[in-house]
Structure 1
């Protein structure tokens, strides 16, 4: 009797396939992180913030740069990067490809903005608070309370 390919599969069977894929993704990610650290040593921390290793396959390393200017600078440094990476653990590396990817840079900047707390650097001066209180004296009741609360912020910030 033929096996029904549409029959429900057990969760163990599905997880076995998923775990092998997940472990390969984790291994690839760890390998790329190690290569990124080597690249940081080769090009310096400031330049490494503007580029990242996107792939390493068939002895070809693909580096994404955030702008054309960074890509051009990396192209000038390509031979020294290649020799440094070969010395530091990537002996089978044959070629480095450099691609420009401004979208990746925008994603990194957006991620940095999300992780940093937002600080309100605006401070209400005492002179401004006094002016608000003067305006509040002649304002309707609803606006008067709001202006007084706003003026009270100058005392809170001190």
Structure 2
């Protein structure tokens, strides 16, 4: 059981066995980050935002996932993940423990919303264009339409090749 009593901050800076507590925490974080990148290189791409390495202790890799459905998907990949990680980076790996962490779902959803808003902004900046082939089809439809509709369709067909962002609705 962990010692949860308050401790002095000087405890973090004390040197024991040539290394202070903060250095060991930093090294552990770097190792877990490296392991997380290795795991993401092995699992399918759709699992990347929904899965991360939580810990590695006593030969057991602890993975966190967003919800039960992603946990089941990860369990299907568990045996291939275990053998790949043993071969690549962790020969001492004996098992993989998968746990659900709901906060991971919120973070993955936020990142998904950010990426979708970026792609929507890129679409808006690109604008849409009417092809020449579509313009010809519109002109043939306009020739068989009533006068007012014909004028509107011909005006639309005249936009072929132009970006819709550069046109004016007051023509």
SS of the equivalent of 2:70 reads helix
**Alpha-carbon spacing, 1:23–1:109, altered in 2? closer, same or farther (3 Å):** farther
Over residues 34-72 of structure 1, what are the superposed CA-to-partner deviations in whole Å (9 max), with x where a residue is unaligned? 111111111133212210000000000000011111100
Distance verdict in 2 for CA 1:72–1:112, change over 3 Å = closer
Stretches of structure 2 that go unaligned for 5 or more consecutive residues are 1-7, 125-167
Q: Mind listing any 5+ residue stretches in structure 1 that lack a counterpart?
A: 1-8, 122-157
Which 4+ stretches in 1 moved above 2 angstroms? 13-19, 107-114
TM-score (norm 2): 0.54
Report what 1:17 is aligned to: 14
Q: Equivalent residue for 1:93?
A: 93
SS at match of 1:86: helix
Q: Is the alpha carbon distance of 1:113 and 1:83 closer, same or farther for their aligned partners in structure 2, counting shifts above 3 Å?
A: same
Q: Is the 8 A contact 1:51 1:63 kept in 2?
A: yes
Output aligned runs, 1:115-154, within 5 Å: none
The alignment partner of 1:55 has SS state of: strand
The within-5 A match list for 1:26-41 is 26-41=26-41
Conserved 8 A contact 2:50-2:65 = yes
Give the aligned partner of residue 79 of structure 2: 79
1:92 aligns to what SS in structure 2? Answer: coil
RMSD: 3.1
Equivalent residue number for residue 160 of structure 2: none
Give TM-score, length-normalised by structure 1: 0.58
Residues 12 and 21, structure 2, Cα contact 8 Å, conserved in 1: no
105-114 vs 17-26, which moves further:
105-114
SS of aligned partner of 2:14: helix
Matched residue count: 110
Question: For the residues of structure 1 that align with 2:90 and 2:21, how far apart are their CA atoms?
Answer: 24
Give deviations 1:119-148, integer Å, cap 9, x for gaps: 8x9xxxxxxxxxxxxxxxxxxxxxxxxxxx
**CA distance in structure 1 between the partners assigned to 2:81 and 2:37 by the alignment:** 13
